[in-house]
Amino acid sequence: MIKSALEKVMSHDLSEIWTILSPEEKRQITDNFVIMHFKKNQIIYAEHEEPENLWCLLKGKVKLYKDGVGGRQQILRLIRPVQYFGYRAYFAREPYVSTAAAIEISTLGTLPMQLVHDLIDGNRALAWFFIHELSRNLGSSDTRIVNLTQKHIRGRLAEALIVLRDSYGYEEDGTTLRIYMGREDLANLSNMTTSNAIRTLTAFVNEKIITVDGRTIKIVNETALRKISRFG
C-alpha cells in the first residue's frame, strides 16, 4: 500500500520531489510514510495545533479554512491529489493558523516534519522545492485576497466556480463539476453569505450559465462564467 501510494506521488507533476532525492533519502521516506483515511468533514488538523506532519493528499478533496467573525468560515485553499500541505507553519515555527478538513472521503499520506527538516539540511534541491511551492502559494493567496475584497458578488461566485473547475475538473460529461459542495461551503469559498450565494447561483441559472441540481453544478457556458470572474 505504501509503495503504491508513493508511486502515485511519483507519477504526478510533483514527482520532482522524488527525483531530487538520493536512494537513502527515498528509503527514509518509504520507512516513515504513513497512510491515513478520513471521513467526510473530518478534521485533519486544527487551527492553533502544533505542526508535526507533512501531509500529502492521495485521494479525495481537502479544504483549508479559517474561522471568522460570527463563526463563519473562510475557505483559504482547496487541495487536490497529489498536493503537499501543512508544512508552512512548521517552517514559520508557529502553530497552524488554519484548519484542514476532508470535503469527502479522503486518503492522505504523512511524513514527520522533523524528517523533512533533516532531509532539507542535507539536500539543497529539496529546500528549493519547498521555497518554490511556498512562493507559488503566497502569490496565489495575494491574488485571492484582492479578488475577494474588490470583486462584486457575481465576480466572487463566478471565480469560486472557476476555482472548483480548475482544481477538480469535470465529470465525464464535460460539464458537471467533479465536486459536490454545499451552499454554505460555496459561500465560504466566495466570501459571501449563504443567502447571497443562493441568489447569485439562481441568477446564473436564469442566465443559462450553469444548471443546478442539489449539490450538482453543471457549467454550460464556461466562457461567460470566466468573463464574469475576470470583470465582475
Summarize pLDDT for 45-82 with one digit per residue, the tens: 999 999 999 999 999 999 999 987 777 788 999 999 98
Sign of CA dihedral 125, 128, 129, 130: positive
At residue 220, does pLDDT exceed 50?
yes
Q: Which residue has the higher pLDDT, 14 or 146?
A: 146
**Per-residue pLDDT, 13:** 43
CA-to-CA distance for 144 and 166, rounded, in angstroms? Answer: 14
At residue 95, does pLDDT exceed 50?
yes
At residue 33, does pLDDT exceed 70?
yes
Average pLDDT score over the chain: 89
CA-to-CA distance for 78 and 93, rounded, in angstroms? Answer: 23
CA-to-CA distance for 194 and 216, rounded, in angstroms? Answer: 17
Number of H helices, E strands in the chain: 10, 10
28: Cβ contacts below 8 Å, ≥ 6 apart: 115, 119
Query: For 99-137, how does the pLDDT look when each residue is reduced to its tens digit (9 = 90+)?
Result: 999 999 999 999 999 999 999 999 999 999 999 989 888
Is the separation of the CB atoms in 148 and 155 below 8 Å? no
C-beta neighbour count of 48 within 10 angstroms = 11
Residues in the chain, overall count: 232
The x, y and z cell numbers of residue 146, run together, are 484582492
Is the separation of the CB atoms in 159 and 151 below 8 Å? yes
Judged by average pLDDT, the poorest of 2-11, 179-188, 197-206 is 2-11
